[in-house]
Amino acid sequence: MDIASLGASINMVWLLVTGFLVMFMQAGFALVEVGMTRIKNANHTMLMNMMIYGIGILGFFLVGFGLMFGGVGALPTLGVDGSVLSREFTVNLFGKSFGLFGLTGFALSGITSMGVIGFFLFQLVFMDTTATIPTGAMAERWKWLAFVIYGFFVSAILYPLYGNWVWGGGWLSQLGANFGWGHGLVDFAGSSVVHMVGGVCAMAGALVIGARVGKFRKDGTPVAIPGHNIPMAILGTFILAFGWFGFNPGSTLAGTDPRIALIAVNTLLASAAGTFVAMLYIWRQQGRPDPGMCANGMLAGLVAITAPCAFVSPLSALVIGAIAGLLVCWSVWFIEWKMKIDDPVGAISVHGVNGFWGILSLGIFADGTYGDGLNGVTGMVTGLLHGDPRQFLAQLIGGLICFAFVFGLSFIFFKAQDLIMGIRVSPEEEVLGLDRAEMTSVAYPRDIM
């Protein structure tokens, strides 16, 4: 053993352990979504969360990873053995080259580097987070077969494409090198790549599938449909907050980068500010705190800090989280009352809206102490408040592209699927409950003897 291989070992241990924490977030999503929906659909919602994990693994292994990272020349931070074969699809515009997707590494073929194989695991569990998000917004009415097909769509195509543009060396990451807009779109751990993609896809899906029976009165007023097990949803929130310590600090891909300490602390502070502000806001609005919105406030703070966590100070993290806590309250109201979209768990607000806020906040608060060389650009990542408006521009463009591309492709996918096979169960099945309509068993059978 030598010093270089020891450093690589520390990085590999860090990468895997944090990746395992992210994997465990699947359980958190499952509990949040099941807890916030009704008892008659509990098995269906739970099983969507479990199967999306399995389906997502298959789709990302066979296709997605290659599309997303098959064009990357070398994975830089895993120490000694991070090279991959590289072949990518690019287009040329304005005399610049724009990478659109990779073309190698499907089913891990040709890859023998353990560094790349570890990196595959880490990226895979991130993808599964995205894939899980729409199962919340579309819960309680999604036809099983349609959901299964969606699972391959998101893991093999939708997530990897936008992911390539930001993390796989694609065109959004090159906005800095190509046009001098800061470091191009910078998204440390996935406010946009993971959360906003999931949230925007959830929005398209919720629009196409429509509101649950009884969600809106004839005059359009929304009716509250409370979830059947709030403590379960809060346990899920704790598991998510726990897993987020894999999500954000793990995204250094390196335990040898001391920045992991600051990243973890910023993650912690934003989650605290988010839940505290959401508690105060609803307390003031409704006269008492709301457990569900406290949970969503914590998650909103976590989503928002995901992009900027490595680039901002602890006090900025507090501010980013606090704003996220407000945003999620407003957004949940706006989406339900003004846009008339039925999102049973608030996934669009938590992940979509705060994902956007996350990448914007990086463009505002990045303090110029980290990120030298990122995306091939010399110098530190610096935001508006520290003097560089160009980074903010890259962030804004990245978010708008995320919305336009993900919404567009998802909407087309769901609409086409709906026309071809129908994505929604019949009203009778929905009223009966999806456990009786589509599963072999209900969630809580009574004692039979």
Query: Hey, is 100 helix, strand or coil?
Result: strand
Q: What are phi and psi of 447, to 5 degrees?
A: -50, 130
Q: Is residue 401 close enough to count as binding a copy of itself by CB under 8 A?
A: no
Give the CA angle between residues 297, 131, 329 to the nearest 5°. 20
Q: Determine the distance from the C-alpha atom of residue 187 to the mean position of all C-alpha atoms in its chain, rounded to a whole number.
A: 12
Residue with tokens 């449909």: 225
**Interacting residue with a copy of itself among 102, 182, 249, 352 (CB under 8 A):** 249
Would you list the DSSP string of 196-217?
A: IHHHHHHHHHHHHH-PPTTSB-
229 in contact with a copy of itself (CB under 8 A): yes
Residue 200 or 272 having the CB closest to a copy of itself: 272
How many of the other CB atoms lie within 10 Å of CB of 225?
16
Q: From CA 289, how far away is CA 280, in angstroms rounded?
A: 7
Dihedral pair phi/psi, residue 76, rounded to 5°: -80, -30
Classified as helix, coil or strand, 364 is helix
Q: Which stretch binds a copy of itself (CB under 8 A): 179-187, 294-302, 386-394, 406-414?
A: 294-302
Stretch that binds a copy of itself, among 117-125, 186-194, 350-358, 373-381 (CB under 8 A): 117-125
CB 36 within 8 A of CB 350: no
From the list 160-168, 170-178, 280-288, 390-398, the region that binds a copy of itself by CB under 8 A is 280-288
Please report, as residue ranges, which positions from 314 to 343 form the binding site for a copy of itself (by CB under 8 A): 314-315, 318
| Candidate list 73, 110, 231, 376; residue touching a copy of itself; CB under 8 A | 231
Q: How far is the CB of 355 from a copy of itself (least distance, A)?
A: 21
Q: Which stretch, 120-128, 161-169, 189-197, 402-410, contacts a copy of itself (CB under 8 A)?
A: 120-128
CA distance 33 to 218: 27
Q: Which of residues 258-277 bind a copy of itself (CB under 8 A)?
A: 258-262, 264-265, 268-269, 271-273, 275-276
Quick one: 50 or 393, whose CB is closer to a copy of itself? 50
Q: Report in angstroms how near the CB of residue 178 gets to a copy of itself at its nearest.
A: 33
Quick one: 102 exposed, middle or buried, by C-beta within 10 A (0-12, 13-18, 19+)?
buried
Contact between 159 and a copy of itself by CB under 8 A: the answer reads no
- Residue (of 400, 399, 382, 403) closest to 391 by Cα position: 382
Restricting to residues 192-221, name those near a copy of itself by CB under 8 A.
Answer: 213-214
At position 126, the amino acid (one-letter code) is: F
Residues 6+ apart with CB under 8 A from 89: 71, 99, 100, 101, 102, 103
**Shortest gap between Cβ of 192 and a copy of itself (angstroms)?**
25
Q: Does 403 interact with a copy of itself (rule: CB under 8 A)?
A: no
Q: Which is nearer to a copy of itself, 124 or 161 (CB)?
A: 124
Smallest CA-to-CA distance from 88 within 97, 79, 77 is with 97
Query: From the list 85, 100, 103, 114, which residue makes contact with a copy of itself (rule: CB under 8 A)?
Result: 114
SS3 89: strand
- Which one of the spans 25-33, 170-178, 353-361, 411-419 is the region binding a copy of itself (CB under 8 A)? 25-33
- Go through the chain and tell me how many residues it has: 449
Q: To the nearest 10°, the Cα dihedral for 82, 88, 91, 95?
A: 40
Please report whether residue 282 would count as binding a copy of itself according to CB under 8 A: yes
CB-count burial class (<10 Å; 0-12, 13-18, 19+) for 95: exposed
C-beta closer to a copy of itself: residue 418 or 429 = 429
Q: Which is nearer to a copy of itself, 333 or 408 (CB)?
A: 333
Binders in 65-84 for a copy of itself, by CB under 8 A = 81
**163, 182, 190, 255: which one binds a copy of itself (CB under 8 A):** 255
| Contact between 20 and a copy of itself per CB under 8 A | yes
Closer of 113 and 178 to a copy of itself (Cβ): 113
Q: State which of positions 128-147 bind a copy of itself (CB under 8 A).
A: 144
Single residue of 207, 232, 300, 366 touching a copy of itself by CB under 8 A: 232
Cα–Cα distance measured from residue 89 to residue 101, given in angstroms and rounded to the nearest whole number? 5
Say whether residue 177 binds a copy of itself (CB under 8 A).
no
Q: Does 39 bind a copy of itself (CB under 8 A)?
A: yes
Q: Report the nearest approach of a copy of itself to the CB of residue 176 (Å).
A: 26
Q: Which of 106, 216, 242, 411 binds a copy of itself (CB under 8 A)?
A: 242
Contact 172, 243 (CB under 8 A): no
Nearest distance in Å: CB 34, a copy of itself = 5
Residues 6+ apart with CB under 8 A from 364: 383, 384, 385, 392
Q: Which is nearer to a copy of itself, 121 or 385 (CB)?
A: 121
Nearest distance in Å: CB 248, a copy of itself: 11
H or E element in which residue 99 lies: strand 96-102
